[in-house]
A = this chain, B = another copy of it.
Amino acid sequence: MADVKAKNRTRRSRPRRRDPEVLDAAARVFHQRGYAAASVQDIADELGILKGSLYHYIDTKEDLLFRLIEELHTETDAILQAVLDEPGLTPLDRLSIYVRKEVAFSVRHSTQIAIYYRDLDQLSDGRRAVIVERRALHERFVSSMLREAQKQGDVRAAIDPQAASNLLFGAMIWTYQWYSPGGKLSPEAVGEACADFVMHGVAARGDS
């Protein structure tokens, strides 16, 4: 038993060490060729290893897509958690910080985010459901912050919080499409511009 456990540990620890490298290569290949057209062989070639070696880390091509998307959620869930943990903020301030940080993250990882939005539907039903549930955490956070801020008079009374939440995500999500790496705006500046835009979009500032 002890031997089997030790063996399992070894087999599991090895892939984890190379995870970021493998997922980065998968992201480049999926982005260029599209998930459907890409093969495990293409990703092995990108890594400069044999296909058989790549199968030490994964069972199927879908494992790579799923782990790539899970990894994005691990990072964005941490952003959400940090925003929730910060003490003494109004709902609207919390929302503003969330938008700024999420957008900066997302344009900094625009290759992966593009795959997320284009290829999420390629996951099996069970795995897609896992991701959709993780995404729903973010959607519930945004619409509940809007509702609370509206109760406090910080969001215009005429606004439908559900519609506003969707409009806000539209502005946020689309950033990966127009952000140009190395361009005039840094990821942080895009985050700032988006937070400013959506906060003015919903906030009551004596003009509701």
> Taking beta carbons and an 8 Å cutoff, which residues of A are in contact with B?
36, 118, 156, 158-160, 163-164, 166-175, 177-178, 185, 190, 193-194, 196-198, 200-203, 205-207
Structural contact, B194 and A167, CB atoms closer than 8 A: yes
Q: Distance (Å) between the CB of A33 and the closest chain B CB?
A: 12
Which residues on B sit within 8 Å (CB–CB) of A166? Answer: 174-175, 177-178
Q: Are B167 and A171 in contact (CB under 8 A)?
A: yes
| A185 touches which of B163, B168, B172 (Cβ 8 Å) | B163
Which of A118, A158, A193 has the largest number of chain B CB atoms within 10 A? A193
- By secondary structure, the A interface counts as helix
Chain B residue contacts of A173, Cβ below 8 A? 170, 174
Q: How far is the CB of A163 from chain B (nearest CB, A)?
A: 4
The answer for the CA separation of A156 and B199 in the assembled complex, in Å, is 13
* A206 CA to B159 CA, complexed, in Å: 20
Minimum distance in angstroms from A156 CB to a CB of chain B: 8
In the bound complex, residues from chain B placing their C-beta under 8 Å from that of A159 are 193, 196-197
| Min distance, Cβ A186 to any Cβ of chain B, angstroms | 12
Does B196 contact A198, Cβ atoms closer than 8 Å? no
- Min CB distance A31 to B, Å, is 12
CA distance A41 to B197 in the complex (A): 47
A170 near B175: Cβ-Cβ < 8 Å: yes
- With beta carbons under 8 angstroms apart, the residue of B167, B169, B185, B203 that contacts A160 is B185
Separation in Å of the A102 CB from the closest CB of chain B?
A: 13
| Chain B residues, CB < 8 A from A160 | 185, 193
In angstroms, how far is the closest chain B Cβ from the Cβ of A139? 10
Q: Are A167 and B174 in contact (CB under 8 A)?
A: yes
Residues from chain B with Cβ under 8 Å of A168 in the complex:
171, 197
